[in-house]
Structure 1
C-alpha cells in the first residue's frame, strides 16, 4: 500500500461523505496488473488508540466485510458475459421500445430510457436494464451462474485480511433472478470482490486475488486465472471509455488520463422491501483505458441529493464526483503520466468491427 495515496483517498472520501451527507462510504485503488491494493479506506473509521471503538456496528470495513447489491456496475459483468458466450457481439442490438419488460407479474423499467433499438455499447452508456436483462436471458440461467462463479462473485473472497463476508446468493435462482442480477439487484457481494472482477475485465482478462502485499506483475501472473478472451477485454475497455465520453462516467473523466468507468445505484432493502430514497451508490473507473494500470472505486451509503445535483442522489452525482477527485489528486502521486496527445489506436478491433462510435474514442 502507498501511504501517500492512502492519505489522499481518506481525505477526499471524508470530504465527500460530509458534502453529500452520506451515512458512510469507502474508497479504494487497485493495481489491475498485480491485484495489489494501493489504498483502501472505509468510513466511519476508528482511532487505533481506542480499539474498543472498532466494535461499533458502523465501523466495519465496507470493502470486504459488507456485502451489497452493486447496481449498474454489474452491467459490466453482463456485457462481458454476453460477449464471452458467443451469442452476442459488440454490434448486437436490443429493442427497448416501450420502456418496460414484462416478465410474469414483474415489470422491469428503464431509468434512462431511449424508447428505441439500441446497440450493445448504448446498453452500457444509457444503463439500460432491459438491454442487460435480454443479454442475460440470452445466455440463460446456467450460463449466467457459471460466468459469475468464474469471475469469483459467488464465493467468499479470501485475502490477507482475516475478516471477509460471503456473498448473498438467491436460494432458488430462476429467470427473474438472472434478469435483476443482470443490472445489479438480487445478488449482494463485497465491493472488493466486485472490484477484482472489474479489474479482470480491464487488464486483458486475468482474474487476480486482491493482495495487500507488495507484488510484481510477473508474480501475480503465476497465480492469475484467465477468465476472458483478450477480444472481450478490449471491447469492454472501449465501452467503459465510451461511457466516460458520453455516458454516466463523465464526472470522473479527468482530462488527459483516458478514464473509463461505470456508475451503480441500488435501492437498499429495508424490512424486506426496496426503498427508493435509500440508495447505495458505486463508481468504478479505470485508467488509462488504452493500457489500464489502476482501478479506482468509491461507494457511498445513503448519499443525499443536493441543489447542485437537482436533488438527484444517484452515483454519478456523488461516488462519481469523489472518484474523479481521487484520480486527479492521486494519479501524479502514483506516477501515472497524463497523455496530452490521444493514444494512437487504443481499440483497433472495435474500429475494424465498426462498433458504435468507435472512432470517437479511438484516439485519432
Structure 2
C-alpha cells in the first residue's frame, strides 16, 4: 500500500472518530435541556396548585368566620314576605274575634339619598307630633342604606307624609295585630311585639306551637290562617273584667282578679286580673298591668285551704261529717299560738268547723291525718307543683323545704304555702265534680276529652260531702254574701294576713272566695280575690266576706244566664218567677 493510501485511511478513521464524538455530545445536550424544561413545568404546576390551594383556603376561612360570627345589625328591616306574614285570628268559643291582623304601612328612610336631614325632620314633625328629633337625625345621618323611622302608621299619616314629597323617604307594607276588645281579655290573649311576634298569653302559645319557627325560616305567607278558637266566652269575660276592675276602686285594693272554670272539662270560661293593659298599646300598661295575678301570682290563700284540709280528713276515712273536735283552747306549738278569729269556745262538728272557719278545728283534722298524708293530698290536688296549661305565664307554688308539725298546722288553714289563684280554683273544682282533677285549658275541650286526662284524686263520697259543706256555708256561714237567688251558690271565704318583711302584717290582707254553683249539680267554679282591700277607715281590715264574696255574687248574677244555668226557686226547684 502506498504512502498516500495509508494517509487517506488514517484521515478517514480520524474523521469517523471525530463525527461519532460530536453526535454523542449533541445527544447529551438535548437530554439536559429536556430535563430542565420538565423540572420547570413541574415547578410551574406546583406553584399553580399552591396558589389555588391558598385561594380556596382563604375562601374557606372566610366562610367559617362568617358562620361563627354574630350578625351585624345594619337595619331592622325584615323581608317583605315576613313583614306581611299572617298570624291566625284568635276567637272565643262562640267565634267572636279576640285578635286579628290588619294591613298597615311603616315609614323608612334611605340615608344615602337624604340631602338635608334638618329639612326632612322639620317636615316630618308637622305630621308626627311626637317625633324623636335627636334619634331621627342620628338615623338620617348614618352610613346605612335603610332606617325605620316610624312603624305602623295610620292611613291619614301616610297620606300627609306623601303630600310632603320628601326624597329618600318611603313606605313598606306590613301587618299589625289588632285587638277589638282592647283590655277585656288582655291576660288571656296576650300581645305581640312590633314585628308581630307573640310576647305573652295565647299569642305566645301560638308561636310556641311552631309558628315562630316557620316565620324564622321564611315559610310563613300572607295567606289567611285557620283561626284558633279559645275556651273563653267573651260575654262572660267582659262581665268578669268589669267586676274585677270595679273592685280596685270600690275596695281601694292594689290588685284583684277572678276566674270562671267549668268543673267537668277544666275549660277557663273567663279570667281577669287587674290592673291590666290594652294589648293594642301594651307599653302603657307598665309592669303592674302586665302581671297576671291569677296564674302568675302566688299568694297564701287563707281559709279557702280549709276546704282541702277537711276534704283530706274525710277522704282518709278518719273523719266524717259527724266527727267533733275540741276548739275551746288555743293550740301552742313551736312558740306560736293558734287561735280562732271568731272563736266559739266549744266543741265543734265538722260542718261547724267549716262554717265558723275554725283554725283550731282544722289544725286538729290535719293532725289526725299526719304530715306525710297532708303533703301527699295537696300534691295530688296539684297545689304544690307547677300547673300545666297552655298559658305561658304560670308561676311555681312555694312550700316549706321540710314539713314539720308546725308547717302542717299552719298550712291546714292557708298559711305557709303560696299557690296561684287559678290552681286553687282547679283544685276546688275537684272538690265538687266527683273528685276528679282536670288540668285547666284555654282551648275548647269536650267532657269526653276531659275524662281521658282527668285523675281521680278523692272518693266520690268525699266530693258529695264537700258539696254539702259548700252549700251549708253558703246558707249559714261566710258565703251568704255570695248567694244569688235561684242559683244555689256555695263556697268558702279566705282572709289571709300578708307577709311583709318576713312577718305577718295584720293590716294587709289577701281576701279570696272559692265558690261553686249550682250546688245541687255543680257546673262552674268561680274564684275571686282582692289584694290589700281597705275599709272606709283605711285600716286594711276588710274581710273576704265583705269584698271577695260580693264579687262572686255580681259575676254569677250577670253571667249564669249566659252560661245556660237555669234558676230554680222553692224547696224542690219547681217554682219559677214569671219574669226573671
Q: Calculate the TM-score normalised by the size of structure 2.
A: 0.58
Structure 1 gap segments, 5+ residues each: 345-364
- Relative to structure 2, which stretch is displaced further, 297-306 or 113-122? 297-306
Q: 1:314 aligns with which of 543, 549, 557?
A: 543
Alpha carbons 1:306, 1:312 under 8 Å: kept: no
Does 1:138 find its partner at 2:377? no
Match of 1:147 among 377, 384, 404: 377
Does structure 1 conserve the Cα–Cα contact (< 8 Å) formed by 2:251 and 2:535?
yes
Contact 1:65 1:164 in 2 (8 A): yes
SS at match of 2:514: strand
Whether the 8 Å CA contact 2:275–2:288 is kept in 1: the answer is: no
Using the TM superposition, give the Cα deviation of residue 255 of structure 1 relative to its aligned residue in structure 2, in angstroms. 1.1
Give 1 or 2: higher helix fraction: 2
2:293 corresponds, among 39, 49, 62, to 62
Give the direction of change, closer, same or farther, for the CA distance of 1:89–1:244 in structure 2 (3 Å limit).
Answer: same
Q: Helix, strand or coil for the counterpart of 1:195?
A: helix
Q: Which SS does the other structure have where 1:285 is aligned?
A: strand
Residue 330 (structure 1) aligned with residue 562 (structure 2) = no
Q: Return the offset for 1:341.
A: 3.1
Tell me if structure 2 keeps the 8 A contact 1:71–1:266.
yes
Name the structure 2 match of 1:223: 453
- Per-residue CA deviations over 1:258-289 (Å, capped at 9, x if unaligned) read 11100001111111111001000101110011
Secondary structure of the residue aligned to 1:280 is strand
RMSD: 1.5
CA offset at residue 109 of structure 1?
1.1
Query: Which residue of the partner structure matches residue 354 of structure 2?
Result: 124
1:37 aligns with one of 239, 264, 268: 268
Per-residue deviation, 1:129? 0.1
Query: Structure 1 residues 274, 178: closer, same or farther in 2, change over 3 A?
Result: same
2:557 is aligned with 1:298: no
**CA deviation profile, 1:76-125 (whole Å, cap 9, x unmatched):** 00000000111111111010113x11123210010111100010011000
Change in CA separation of 1:130 and 1:58 when aligned onto 2, cut-off 3 Å? farther
Asked if 1 retains the 8 angstrom alpha-carbon contact of 2:507 and 2:541, the reply is: no
| Bigger CA radius of gyration | 2
Compared CA separation, residues 312 and 270, structure 1 to 2 (3 A): closer
Shift of 1:51: 2.3
C-alpha distance in 1, partners of 2:372/2:235?
A: 44
Secondary structure of 2:360's counterpart equals: helix
Please state how far the C-alpha of 1:57 moved relative to its aligned partner: 4.0
- How far did 1:56 drift? 0.8
Indicate the structure whose relative CO is greater, using CA pairs within 8 Å and at least 6 residues apart. Answer: 1
Q: How does 1:209-220 map to 2 (within 5 A)?
A: 209-220=439-450
Q: Which position in structure 2 is the counterpart of 1:79?
A: 310
C-alpha separation in 1, matches of 2:503 and 2:334: 19
3-state SS of the aligned residue for 1:56?
helix
- 2:19 is matched with which residue? none
SS in 1 for 2:392: coil
Which of 149, 158, 170 does residue 400 from structure 2 map onto?
Answer: 170
- Say which SS state the counterpart of residue 81 (structure 1) adopts: helix
3-state SS in 2 of match to 1:313 = coil
TM-score (norm 1): 0.91
Runs of 4+ in 1 over 2 A off after TM superposition: 51-55, 309-312, 341-344
Secondary structure in 1 aligned to 2:348?
Answer: strand
